[in-house]
Amino acid sequence: MNNSSKALVNNTQEFCFDQKEIDNLDVFDHGDDQLHLIFDHKSVVAKVIEKDFLKRRYKIQINSNFYEIEIPHPLDDLIKKMGYSSGSAKVIDSIKAPMPGSIIDIKVKAGQKVKEGETLLILEAMKMENAITSPKDTVIKELFVEEGESVDKNKLLIDFE
């Protein structure tokens, strides 16, 4: 993972910020959910209308405009790439290595039925064991790795039927 953050505005525009840009923001909290920002030599007052800290979603008002902002956690992209995002489990048909590492245990074989959440294999990366689990109830079509094999990020590990 890198040290950048993303913000999705109105589900249409994505903005990326690195840590230096975030640290250099000119933002002052005026209380009552009002923020004063200085951006590009312009003064802006933003009022937070709604906030959901758990889902990292906010609705703000700037002048007479309203913006819905989602700030995904950096791990969200990794989770989506692994096929665990909400709603995507129905269409995923394979598992790829989320990071480089070594396959230390394979728990399934071709033709085997598996349940959602069942461990398929164990990938050791950075001295940590990572259980790769099934994103849905399915049948293993084909395995593309063997125990002890080193894999690169995005290497195809398993196909589903």
Long-range pairs, 69-75, Cβ under 8 A, ≥24: 69/7, 69/8, 69/9, 70/7, 70/8, 70/11, 71/5, 71/6, 71/7, 71/8, 72/6, 72/8, 74/1, 74/2, 74/4, 74/5, 75/1
Alpha helices in 24-84 (DSSP H): 74-81
Domains and CATH numbers, the chain: 4-70 (no CATH), 85-160 (2.40.50.100)
Question: What is the value of pTM for the model shown?
Answer: 0.45
Alpha helices in the chain (DSSP H): 19-23, 74-81
| Predicted local confidence at residue 111, as pLDDT | 95
**Could you give the CA distance from residue 4 to residue 12 in angstroms, rounded to a whole number?**
19
Per-residue pLDDT of the chain (161 residues; tens, 9 = 90+): 456 778 888 988 888 888 787 777 788 888 888 889 887 788 888 898 988 877 788 999 988 899 999 887 766 666 666 666 554 444 678 999 989 999 999 999 999 999 988 999 999 988 888 889 888 889 999 999 999 999 999 999 999 98
